[in-house]
Amino acid sequence: MARTIGSHSGKTGPRVRDAAMHLFAQRGFAAVSMRQIASEVGVQVGALYNYFPDKQTLLFELMRDHMLELLSAIHDKPETTPSSRLEVFVRFHITFHHKRPDAVFIAYMELRNLSPQNFEEIEALRRRYETVLEDILRAGLEANEFQVADTKITTLAIIAMLTGVSSWFRSKGRLSIADIKNQYWEMVQKSVCPKY
């Protein structure tokens, strides 16, 4: 939309981030120009540089904020049973990612467009998240509630499976997100169960 000249009460920053998030998710970081972002927001390209020093930093901040939100939203309760902790994790992961399809897509697809230093920072956050799940699996292993050959591999396998939901789930589809959560929880539960 065309805008008139002048200040607009400090709302441009969030609007730029929203527009960038959406465009990056849809077309990819490298394929989106600063002019396209500006046009989506309704400002000229020069105005964008009031909110970040360059395009790389914009990408980094979107990814970092997403990971920090993820980490601050997961609340594992080590005092409960491993099986219950695992169920909470599975349902949380699907819910959280389902609400932020653009951010999820960017976090998984644009890692290679980060500068080496920014990449390291995002990777560290991702590893922290994986550790939450791995701790649950280890606790279940020690309590003989789970049977897994290798907690690290199982962690990566479960996260890959759960995150995959974002790539195909459409809310107009045959199944509700509640159905999906139930089914994924059943699959995960069985996959870590001791063989009978």
Partner DNA sequence: GTCTATAGAGTGATAGAC
Partner DNA sequence: GTCTATCACTCTATAGAC
Residues in contact with a second copy by CB under 8 A are: 26-31, 109, 112-113, 148-150, 153-154, 156-161, 163-164, 167-168, 175, 179-180, 182-184, 186-188, 190-193, 195-196
Look up residue 96 and give its DSSP letter: H
- CB closer to a second copy, 30 vs 68: 30
- Min separation Cβ 8 and DNA, Å: 4
Which 4-63 positions form the footprint of DNA (CB under 7 A)? 5-8, 10, 12, 32-36, 38, 42-47, 49-50, 53-56
Closest by CA to 91, choosing from 174, 152, 180, is 180
Would you state the structure tokens that stand for residue 93, as one six-digit string? 């992961």
Q: Does 116 bind DNA (CB under 7 A)?
A: no
In three-state secondary structure terms, 156 is: helix
Q: What are phi and psi of 33, to 5 degrees?
A: -95, 160
**Can you tell me which residue has the tokens 């920053």?**
13
CA pair distance 80, 45, nearest whole angstrom: 52
Q: Does 118 bind DNA (CB under 7 A)?
A: no
CA pair distance 25, 136, nearest whole angstrom: 31
- Min separation Cβ 11 and a second copy, Å: 29
Per partner kind, with CB cut-offs from 5 to 8 A, the member of a second copy, DNA, none near residue 116 is none
Q: Does 113 bind DNA (CB under 7 A)?
A: no
